[in-house]
Structure 1
Amino acid sequence: MPQSVPVFDRPTIIFVDDHMLVAEKPAGLLSVPGRLPENKDCLVTRLQGLYPDALTVHRLDMATSGLMVFARGADAHRALSQAFADRQVAKRYVAVVAGQLAGEGEVDLPLITDWPNRPRQMVDHAIGKPSLTRYRAVSQGDGTSRVGLEPVTGRSHQLRVHMMAIGHPIIGDVFYAPPDAQAMSDRLLLHAQSLVLPHPRTGAALEFQSQVPF
């Protein structure tokens, strides 16, 4: 019988069966526990209070909100991890970026950890890992644009660095946006809106959607 958890800690679960679950991660909550004692609270720990067999398959940045999938048990974890490795999982995000961005395109810039300034990442054409993001402008506002983003690869901070690299940092990004763009929101305006993946047991294609909170 799953343990009960306090209402204020209870995750928003979009889907659950015997093999997997999909949940919403709020902005400001870690995906997995951090090293320091004050960083132990996270989405997977909260989920394990309800489903003790929940296992992490992928992560979202602490500042990013949206959909995450978790395996239930080792077999499902292997299947879902393989699906991510084989790029059978399609993830789509919505962001609000600085400046007027129109049309659609790709950002193909290799990324590597900026070790003296961790957890920041940076573009490095010599030794960076291949990284590809597709973008599509949705609408323009007062000095900002709403953009759909599709990470083809899954590097750390990929969407944030790629948008910054083309001159359109994500609003509220304390790592990569200039101070005026940081100050436009009290959170990073990046949300994992859509997730398409094969079921770890049946292989059936599943699609999940999340309402963008900004």
Structure 2
Amino acid sequence: MPRAWKVLHLDEQLIVLDKPSGLLSVPGRGDDKYDSLAVQVAADYPGARNVHRLDRDTSGVIVMAFDAETHRQLSRQFEQRETSKRYVAIVAGQVADDSGRIELPLRKDFDHPPRHMVDPELGKPAITDWQIETWLKDATRLALIPQTGRSHQLRVHLQAIGHPILGDPLYSPPEIKAAAPRLMLHAQELEITHPASGKRMRFTAPAPF
């Protein structure tokens, strides 16, 4: 199994990695979906287990814990929104404003798994803040700061406002999907409180696009 990920930080309690696009965070259903970041990292660093996930096609910063207490404390930070995350994305079209907020509740799209969808009545609250990084030809590079952590949140929110992410196989029309060789979404920064030291730590991985 090729090791395309990079170690950004390593200590006795946790390991922080830069996950490549195209690699599952954890094993999926079926033997063909067993290979994943969790499996590969645990083979090289026994005991490491996922605290959170990134979509298969999303690259970027992800943290894993080595012991139950670290896992519990980091999981609580994610659940209680005590972490800080920043993504970068390239989306279709010219986004008009310099910044904004998307507040659209989300739920699973049971008729089209594994997709998710906006549902004002049954969806769970989901909030994404965004800022322009630069305008490109027929596209815009955005910084995305999710305030909640719903599955596929950034992808669905950007599709919902008419600016799907380039290369998105689930939420972009064919011409937008074909406009990039991968999903143009990268988890650029993650800030956590270290469970052992109590120190606030920020980890970054430059976007590969």
TM-score normalised by structure 2 residue count:
0.97
Q: Aligned to 1:199, which of 194, 198, 203?
A: 194
User: Helix, strand or coil for the counterpart of 2:44?
Assistant: coil
Distance 1:140 1:16 in 2: 36
Which residue pairs with 2:115 in the alignment?
120
Residue identity in the other structure for 1:133: T
**Aligned-partner SS, 1:188:** coil
SS at match of 2:169: coil
Q: What corresponds to 1:26 in structure 2? A: 20
Unaligned runs of 5+ in 2: none
- Asked if structure 2 preserves the Cα contact closer than 8 Å seen for 1:20 and 1:200, the reply is no
Aligned to 2:69: 75
Q: Which amino acid aligns with 1:83?
A: Q
Give, in whole Å, the separation in 2 of the partners of 1:74 and 1:10. 27
Matched to 1:132, the amino acid is I
Partner of 2:104: 109
The 1:10–1:109 alpha-carbon spacing in structure 2 relative to 1, beyond 3 Å, is: closer
1:46 counterpart = 2:40: yes
Rounded to whole Å, the distance in 2 between the matches of 1:10 and 1:135 is 29
Count the aligned residue pairs: 208
1:38-58 Cα deviation digits (max 9, x unpaired): 111000111101211101100
> What CA deviation, in whole Å up to 9, does each residue of 1:168-214 have, x standing for no partner?
10000111111111111120000000011100112210001101101
| Among 105, 122, 139, the residue aligned to 2:134 | 139
Identity of aligned residues (%): 46
Contact 1:11 1:46 in 2 (8 A): no
Q: Matched residue of 1:163: which SS? A: helix
**TM-score (normalised: structure 1):** 0.95
**Where does structure 1 differ by over 4 angstroms across 4 or more consecutive aligned residues?**
none
Structure 1, gaps ≥5 residues long: 1-5
Q: Which residue of the partner structure matches residue 3 of structure 1?
A: none
- Contact 1:29–1:63 (CA<8 Å) still a contact in 2? yes
Q: 1:95 aligns with which of 89, 94, 100?
A: 89
Query: What is the Cα-based RMSD across aligned positions, in Å?
Result: 1.0
